[in-house]
Structure 1
Amino acid sequence: MPLGEHLRELRNRLIKAVGAILLVTVVAALFYKQLIGFLIDPLPGCAPGGLGGGTDAERCGVISLNGLLSPFSLALKVSITAGVVAASPVWLYQLWVFVAPGLHRHERKYTLVFLGAGIPLFLSGAAVAYWILPTTARVLISFTPDETTNLLPVDDFLDLATRMVLVFGLSFELPVFLVLLNLGGVITARRMIGWWRGMLMGIAAFAALATPSTDPLSMLLLAVPISLLYLGACATAWCNDRRRKRTGRAEPGGSLQDTQASPMGLTPAPVVPRDSTSIGRP
């Protein structure tokens, strides 16, 4: 396609993607109060007018909004975020339709594998993050000094929740990235399994840094699923290497090692005599 047609195709895809996001954003704006209530629900024991006091387990704060424009900006932020997330199948499909004609067949297969496995894993990580938010909130609120009240701006909590959802969702993409490298022939399953000590230590350090609270429960709830996904990626890569080895042995010289030379066919081929009637013809 000429450059002008590529640009027109990109424009049409962008219009459809942005239109879907705007449509879902408008619908989400009609229910923004319910969405905000769902997002701040992980704040346990914190309600408007609640005061800090008692033991750390009973301590809570006051959910607040600061400023005259804060309610409007919060509703706008929540509606746009809901529009981008809920319309993700549409704009991901538009991106795929625009990119797919320029990919080879195996590249399309790898892309479909990434989309088919990456989206559920990202949503699973986001669900785990939302599940441990109450524990994270209780631990962080427990640091509130005695005889004080903790004001909890909704904007700050939503920013914290968004960061946790993104961190957990992206960290759950580790096995997809490793499997894609194995499918592309960059790394082997033997090498991935040989990294297990360093990978487990790196996952534990990442979980300790990524979780905002200092409790070991949140760290384990992030580190254990990522470790299991890493082991699952190693098993998938091992099966793929075995399949590749079986198909490679069926080909001539497929059972050789990388450092061995391929055999040369030195057997002469029989000479087929030409038909006498074709002599002299071009």
Structure 2
Amino acid sequence: MKIKAAIDKVPGGMMLIPLLIGALIDLPDRPVDQSDFPGSDNLFLGLSALAIIAAFSDTNGGLYMALMGQLGKKKEDVAAYSIMSLESGPFFTMLILGVAGLASFPIMAFVFALLPLLLGMILGNLDEKMREFLSKGQDVIIPLFSLAIGAGINLTNVVKAGFSGVILGIGVVVITGIVLFLIDRLTGGDGVAGIAASSTAGNASAVPMAVAAVYSGYSSIAADATLQVTACVIVTAILTPLLTTWFARRAQRRSSQA
């Protein structure tokens, strides 16, 4: 049976499918969460600040590199991936929530959020074999924690969360696409790299639960936020390549006619 091949055909399948399987486990006995923590206020269409910030603050660097390589862009554009990797994990989400006054985190929470990233960067650059060994870990961890997260999701909220997640994904592509396009043009680019970076990384789906583990005010909405961000990841994984390819071809035709 080609199980993995079938899962890989679904955008974000390694995150989405275990998440939904977990949500189906013991469904009749799972109560609906009616608690009201400070972080549970919805901002727009059922989206919380946690989901919005997590989706907007983590770019899909792998997708960006693939698009830039496919379109044959200059090395400077491809090299921007190293900067995007700093967005991985909950650090920037926690920082934005804290600065905005939407949550309160101890200093050590920021240290522990950055420490794994820094250690990985150091080990990966010191030893190629260690980099190869550690890079395989995410392939196993993602479906396992997705299954656990899904077990905490009530399916009565899936349709609503999924719809708002689609809206979130469109918002990421449109808003970050416009901003990054303008920045790219202002810095001498043609705008293609900016559009290619208008996406949400798959690991952003783990951010809501990581933030809720540090700040209990988001515990009641972390599961729904996870589902929303996962839907956002899928939407951007589809829309961003289509939009980038279309604009790159358009830009190429213009330059050839000039």
TM-score, structure 2 normalization: 0.29
Higher radius of gyration, 1 or 2: 1
Name the structure where helix makes up a greater proportion of residues: 2
TM-score of the two chains, using structure 1 as the length reference: 0.27
